[in-house]
């Protein structure tokens, strides 16, 4: 009987160590994320979350090993263009880089060219516009298309950035602390957009300090503390008072309702 080839993991990490100023700031023994799998990397400030993202995007390199520490779809030396095409990225720091008056649609179109806006040398096609508008429609933000991005609220601009990350149809989207700086309305819509991304069949790779960001579509949680993944498993097993209090070194209570989690201080 012919056997169906098994797809290699989207990401495989083995003995990856990143050192800065003489100390490890990230050490991952073994980790595998399947194609299409959504996860949340949860941890306190300084745990190594940004370094983890940069390891995936290949902006930082781990120490040399005989066996390549980071494999992308089974490849030891993938083309950077291939990695970037597969990954969309949304981060709050990106928003600070938007310092020009542009229609929100142009920011989304910029995602087709790996830029924040449309580069001058590029002639935008009708097809580009159609794709960008369709992406904005899917996220429920088509009404923002002609708005000057500098005049949008932080929450609206964050959703435009999600559109920018999605327009090139990546298979996975990294959400780097997507709700930082947002009011409850902004958080509501950003989390709803994350759900749309997951429901489109794309992997959501969420990095956050807050269990509140973990949308129901994410089942697997990785807890990062002091540069190491200290736990990796289903959220219902890891999002407990004892484990989360230990992760943040703070007395905390975790509550779950309708598939969402919330944190409360045990004052």
Ligand X SMILES: Nc1ncnc2c1ncn2[C@@H]1O[C@H](COP(=O)(O)OP(=O)(O)OP(=O)(O)O)[C@@H](O)[C@H]1O
* Shortest Å distance, C-beta 144 to ligand X: 28
Task: Name the residue nearer to ligand X (CB basis): 13 or 47.
Answer: 47
Residue whose CB is less far from ligand X, 49 or 131 = 49
C-alpha 68/C-alpha 49 separation (Å) is 21
CA nearest neighbour of 15 among 59, 71, 53: 71
For the bound state, the minimum distance from the C-beta of residue 74 to ligand X, rounded and expressed in Å, comes to: 26
Q: Are 34 and 52 in contact (CB under 8 A)?
A: no
Q: What is the DSSP string of 226-245?
A: TTEEEEEEEHHHH-SHHHHH
In terms of CB distance, is 53 or 132 closer to ligand X?
53
The residues of the shown chain that bind ligand X, judged by CB under 6 A, are 20-21, 25, 43, 45-51
Instruction: Tell me whether residue 128 or residue 213 sits nearer to ligand X (CB atom).
Output: 213
Minimal distance, residue 248 CB to ligand X, in Å: 11
26/141 with CB nearer ligand X: 26
Pairing, β 203-208 against β 39-42: parallel
Pairing of strands 39-42, 23-33: unpaired
In the complex, the smallest distance separating the C-beta of residue 178 from ligand X, rounded to whole angstroms, is 13
CB of 200 to ligand X, least distance (A): 27
- Ramachandran bin of 57, using left for φ above 0, alpha for ψ from -120 to 50, beta for the remaining angles: alpha
């Amino acid at each position: 009987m012919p056997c169906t080839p098994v797809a290699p993991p989207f990401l495989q990490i083995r003995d990856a160590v990143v050192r800065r100023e003489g100390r490890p700031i990230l050490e991952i023994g073994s980790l595998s994320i399947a194609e299409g799998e959504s996860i949340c990397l949860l941890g306190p400030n300084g745990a190594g979350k940004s370094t983890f993202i940069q390891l995936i995007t290949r902006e930082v390199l781990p120490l040399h090993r005989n066996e390549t520490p980071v494999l992308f779809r089974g490849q030891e030396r993938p083309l950077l263009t291939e990695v970037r095409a597969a990954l969309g990225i949304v981060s709050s720091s990106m928003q600070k880089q938007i310092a020009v008056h542009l229609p929100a649609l142009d920011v989304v179109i910029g995602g087709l060219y790996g830029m924040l806006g449309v580069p001058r040398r590029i002639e935008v096609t009708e097809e580009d516009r159609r794709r960008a508008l369709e992406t904005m429609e899917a996220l429920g933000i088509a009404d923002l298309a002609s708005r000057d991005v500098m005049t949008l609220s932080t929450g609206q601009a964050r959703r435009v950035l999600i559109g920018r990350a999605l327009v090139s149809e990546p298979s996975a989207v990294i959400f780097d602390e997507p709700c930082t700086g947002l009011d409850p309305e902004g958080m509501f819509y950003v989390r709803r957009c994350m759900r749309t991304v997951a429901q489109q069949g794309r992997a959501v790779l969420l990095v956050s300090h807050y269990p509140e960001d973990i949308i129901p579509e994410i089942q697997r949680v990785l807890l990062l503390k002091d540069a190491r993944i200290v736990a990796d498993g289903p959220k219902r097993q890891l999002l407990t008072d004892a484990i989360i209090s230990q992760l943040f070194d703070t007395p905390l209570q975790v509550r779950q309702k309708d598939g969402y989690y919330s944190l409360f201080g045990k004052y």
